[in-house]
Amino acid sequence: MRIVVALGGNALLRRGEPLTSENQLANIRRAAGQLARIVEGNEVVLTHGNGPQVGLLALQAAEQATGEGFPLDVLGAQTDGMIGYLLEQELSNVLPSHVVATLLTRVQVDPSDPAFTSPTKPIGPVYTAADAERIGLQHGWAMAPDGKGVRRVVASPTPQRVLGLQPIQWLLSHGTLVIAAGGGGIPVAAMGDGRALQGVEAVIDKDLCSSLLARQLEADCLVIATDVDAVYLDFGEPNQRALRQMDLGALAQMRFPAGSMGPKVEAARSFVATTGRRAVIGSLDHIEAMVQGRAGTEVVAAARSERSA
């Protein structure tokens, strides 16, 4: 099969962990060991998040004496190189007979997307309310609740087109495990006469971009690997229940939190609605079983035997 795997931030940094190189490397080694289980006999494209990393780089730049830093598109490219290198190295260590390649991937967005005036994408560290208020005022950043803390939020426009598909397809056809569209891709938009592209101040949602990439690559399956074993109704409540299969009709009646599971479910829905193929959401630790249809929440076009547990 041709599989696109969207690797959640838990593979790079678990909630509450300090953003250190040691922690990232330990988590990436764990991720590489799990991903190795699905590579043999399949064509695999791996995407990943970068929210904590790009936010930390922006914070470090803002705290320089000059107060001048690079824009988010450039910082996103920097994180793609860093994370891609770590993933590539660890995957090569566990898959010595496979070629692994990392590509910086531009993704086109609409410069008039309303997301530019309504930032929602959390990046960077989690702060207390008091620290968030101080830092937000200091740098002129928008801040919003994230779990029990507060994080900076930035524009997250809808991805329209993944650029550079040809090299991805060529590498896949030559047996390469490809790491691409890291952090949702590097956001660019057509300005002026509509022909010239330039970077924009935004961070694209990794799951929505992965869904678009999977559609453009005509993938057989989209896997969204996160830190929970399934999609839950009433998550965190005493009556929470895991959904083992969702069809498009059932999904139309459900709502999920915009800051966490919502984009993942929407990414899966878009892929299935467009292609008629399957998507699955679940834990990275169960990725082999997810691909085989034995774990996670499977999203399908039409119900076969909807179950919950």
User: Span 149-177, mean pLDDT?
Assistant: 95
Q: What value does the CA radius of gyration of the chain take, rounded to a whole number of Å?
A: 19
pLDDT at 55: 80
CA 98 to CA 155: how far, in whole Å? 37
Please indicate whether residue 206 is annotated as part of the active site.
yes
Helix pair angle (261-275, 206-216), 10° resolution: 10
Exactly one of 10, 182, 183, 296 is catalytic; name it: 10
Q: For residue 4, report the phi and psi dihedrals to the nearest 5 degrees.
A: -105, 125
User: Span 179-187, mean pLDDT?
Assistant: 96
β-pairing, 99-102 vs 176-179, is: parallel
Please indicate whether residue 41 is annotated as part of the active site.
no
Cβ count near 65 (within 10 Å): 5
Please indicate whether residue 148 is annotated as part of the active site.
no
Exactly one of 84, 121, 182, 296 is catalytic; name it: 121
Identify whether the C-beta of residue 23 lies closer than 8 Å to the C-beta of residue 13. Answer: yes
Average pLDDT of the chain? 89
Exactly one of 8, 9, 183, 185 is catalytic; name it: 9
β-pairing, 278-283 vs 297-300, is: antiparallel
Q: Which residue has the tokens 């699955």?
A: 280
Please indicate whether residue 9 is annotated as part of the active site.
yes
Whether residue 306 has pLDDT greater than 50: no
pLDDT at 134: 92
Model confidence, pTM: 0.90
Which tokens hold the place of 148? 């029990």
CA 34 to CA 227: how far, in whole Å? 13
User: Span 99-119, mean pLDDT?
Assistant: 96
Please name every residue paired with 137 in a beta bridge, in sequence order, or none if there are none: none
pLDDT at 148: 84
Percent share of the chain, pLDDT over 70: 94
Exactly one of 50, 51, 264, 296 is catalytic; name it: 264
Coil vs helix vs strand at 38? helix
Identify whether the C-beta of residue 246 lies closer than 8 Å to the C-beta of residue 257. Answer: no
Whether residue 258 has pLDDT greater than 90: no
Bin 184: left if φ > 0, else alpha if -120 < ψ < 50, else beta.
left
User: Span 213-232, mean pLDDT?
Assistant: 94
Exactly one of 27, 51, 206, 296 is catalytic; name it: 206
pLDDT band at 257 (very low <50, low <70, confident <90, very high): confident
CA 121 to CA 260: how far, in whole Å? 10
pLDDT in tens, 260-272: 788 899 999 999 9
Lowest mean pLDDT among 84-98, 102-116, 163-177, 232-246: 232-246
Q: How far, CA to CA in Å, does 245 sit from each of 108, 232, 234, 271, 299?
A: 32, 11, 16, 15, 6
Identify whether the C-beta of residue 38 lies closer than 8 Å to the C-beta of residue 286. Answer: no
pLDDT band at 308 (very low <50, low <70, confident <90, very high): very low
Please indicate whether residue 27 is annotated as part of the active site.
no
pLDDT band at 304 (very low <50, low <70, confident <90, very high): low
pLDDT in tens, 4-53: 999 986 667 776 777 778 888 888 998 999 999 999 999 999 999 988 88
